[in-house]
Amino acid sequence: TLACLAFCAPAMAQRAVDLELVLAVDASGSVNQQRFELQQEGYAAAFRHPRVLAAIRSGPNQAIAVTMFQWTGPSLQRVAIPWTIIRDDASTQALADAIDAMPRQLFGGGTSISGAIDFAVGVLAASPVKGTRRIIDISGDGANSSGRPVTRARDAAVALDIRINGLPILSLEPGLDDYYRDNVIGGPGAFVIAADGYESFAVAILNKLILEIAAAP
């Protein structure tokens, strides 16, 4: 372990990847434990899907870096999966296992999408890898209700050449996909893929990941 601490971080720092991807998972009060676990299962299942690895291998560096954090209020965010490079079957499976085993760290505190975006910008700034593209992906089931205006956070991130994509879950707010399009996503090629409910989250996240990783328009 000590050897890994000495050598793994520098090796990661020298690694060029096709994408730095920040996954921001809603853990606010509207997300009960069952809904949180459905998000978890959706992400884990997506990374286990062979199409995701095929998308990773389609890039010039054939590797991406992924991190995941949970978010609620303006200053309530917790990194759950640190920066991880995935490039092959073993690393994608290991990431999926880590997501499956991830404990919930937040249980309420409001819904601050702006706080999540601002936190994600900091996570990207501290990334130990260099990605050709940088993307923040926000999943959630409600509109911004606390913190600074979400459009200001979005614009600040886009000004840093960071793209924001959205995965709204429409269980509680049926028009949330339009809200995300107008207020949350930003940057060239940014998109929204909505999940009709938590049960369809896995399909939505799989489609989203393939689009992001393969850099499809």
- 15 pLDDT band, cuts 50/70/90, is confident
Q: In whole angstroms, what is the distance from residue 17 CA to residue 130 CA?
A: 6
Radius of gyration of the chain (CA): 16
Whether residue 135 is predicted with pLDDT greater than 90 in this model: the reply is yes
Q: For residue range 37-51, what is the model confidence (pLDDT) as tens digits?
A: 888 999 999 999 999
> What is the Cα 137 distance to its own chain's centre?
4
Question: Up-side HSE of residue 101: CA atoms within 13 Å toward CB?
Answer: 7
Q: Given this model, what pLDDT does residue 14 score? A: 55
* pTM, 2 dp: 0.92
- Mean pLDDT, the chain, rounded, equals 90
Q: In whole angstroms, what is the distance from residue 52 CA to residue 31 CA?
A: 27
- 134 pLDDT band, cuts 50/70/90, is very high
Q: Given this model, what pLDDT does residue 154 score? A: 98
End-to-end CA gap in the chain: 41
Q: Given this model, what pLDDT does residue 12 score? A: 55
- Average pLDDT value for residue range 125-153: 95
Q: In whole angstroms, what is the distance from residue 217 CA to residue 214 CA?
A: 9
Of 34-48, 146-160, 176-190, give the lowest mean pLDDT range: 34-48
Q: Given this model, what pLDDT does residue 13 score? A: 52
Q: For residue range 68-99, what is the model confidence (pLDDT) as tens digits?
A: 999 999 999 999 999 999 999 999 999 999 99
Q: Given this model, what pLDDT does residue 59 score? A: 92
Whether residue 188 is predicted with pLDDT greater than 70 in this model: the reply is yes
The answer to whether 72 touches 106, Cβ cutoff 8 Å, is yes
**Residue whose entry in the numeric block shows the structure tokens 């929204």:** 192
Which position has the higher pLDDT, 109 or 103? 103
